[in-house]
Each structure stands twice: as structure tokens, then as C-alpha cells.
Amino acid sequence: MAEAETLLLWNWAHFDSLCPGDLYDIIALRTAVFIVEQRCTYQDCDGIDCVSHHLWTRESDGGIAAYLRVVPPLAKYAEPSLGRVVTAAGVRGTGLGRALVREGIARVEQVYGPRPIRISAQRYLLRFYEELGFVATGYDYEEDGIPHAEMLRAHVC
């Protein structure tokens, strides 16, 4: 996927700049994966979207293939955070998720400078995030019936 990463068209906008169609497609993907596919009833609209930047890329058919939000410091954690990291079912296993998180890390550094990034990861994805430089903090918890772990990525010079 490394070669394909250079061909990806990333969309990037603060909530205030999102057009209604993009916001609709983002919420549709998050609902399809986090609520329907994972069978998890939770309040997706948590107030954090409004203060966040949003990063996504689309599939050739126009649907969103991958998405995450960059949460500013102090909105959830002391550090900036990546959240609602999601890929569409049809692109999983292609490396797009790794490309998405790498791009998210780069955007955090662009906006907030080089600093640690904290995330809330579903436990089954720990190895995925470890490969991208995140380390479990030892704080494990259940959120909406799904085991999670807090992870931190120290700034790498």
C-alpha cells in the first residue's frame, strides 16, 4: 500500500468547513461500522466533532473508504487525539487503515506541532496501533460493551 498511499486524495476540514454531503457520508460510515456492524448502541454525536478536524478519503464509487477525526488537546485528553478511526468493509486488509492513521499523525503534527498523541483503541486493534508507534498505557476499560485500551504515541524525532 505504500506506493498507493501517494495516490490517495485526502480530504481535510474543520467541522465548521464540512459541507453537508461530506458530513452525511462520514456519519453514514461511522453508523454502518460502529453501530450496525459492531452491534453497539451508543451516542455517536458526542459534541467532539464540532471542535475537531476531519480526515477522509473516498472510494472510486464516491463512498468514504476511510475516516478519522483529529481531536484537539483538552477536548478529550490533555494531548491531541485520533478518534472514530474507521475503514469501510470493502477496503479492510489493503493497508488503507495504516495509511489513514499515518496521515492522521502527520495532520496532528501539522496543526499542533510535534507532541504525543493519545487514543482510545478497541482491544483487538492493539497490535495494529503498536505497529504505528502507539503504546498501551495500562489503562483498560469497557466502553459501550467493547473492551478498550488507552494508548499513547510519544513524539518521535
Tens digit of each residue's pLDDT (9 = 90 or more) over 8-58: 899 999 999 999 999 999 999 988 887 777 777 777 788 999 999 999 999
Check whether 4 has a pLDDT greater than 60: no
Q: How many CA atoms lie within 13 A of 153 on its CB side?
A: 26
Helices assigned H by DSSP within the chain: 2-5, 20-30, 96-112, 126-130
- Rounded CA-CA distance 115/96 in Å is 24
Domains of the chain and CATH, by start: 2-114 (3.40.630.30)
Q: How much is the pLDDT for 41?
A: 76
**What stretches of 106-154 adopt beta strand conformation (E)?**
117-122, 135-143, 146-153
pTM recorded for the entire structure: 0.90
pLDDT tier at 1, thresholds 50, 70, 90: very low
pLDDT digits (tens, 9 = 90+) for 83-135: 999 999 999 999 999 999 999 999 999 999 999 999 999 998 999 999 999 99
Nearest CA to 48 out of 19, 67, 75 is that of 75
Q: What is the pLDDT of residue 104?
A: 98
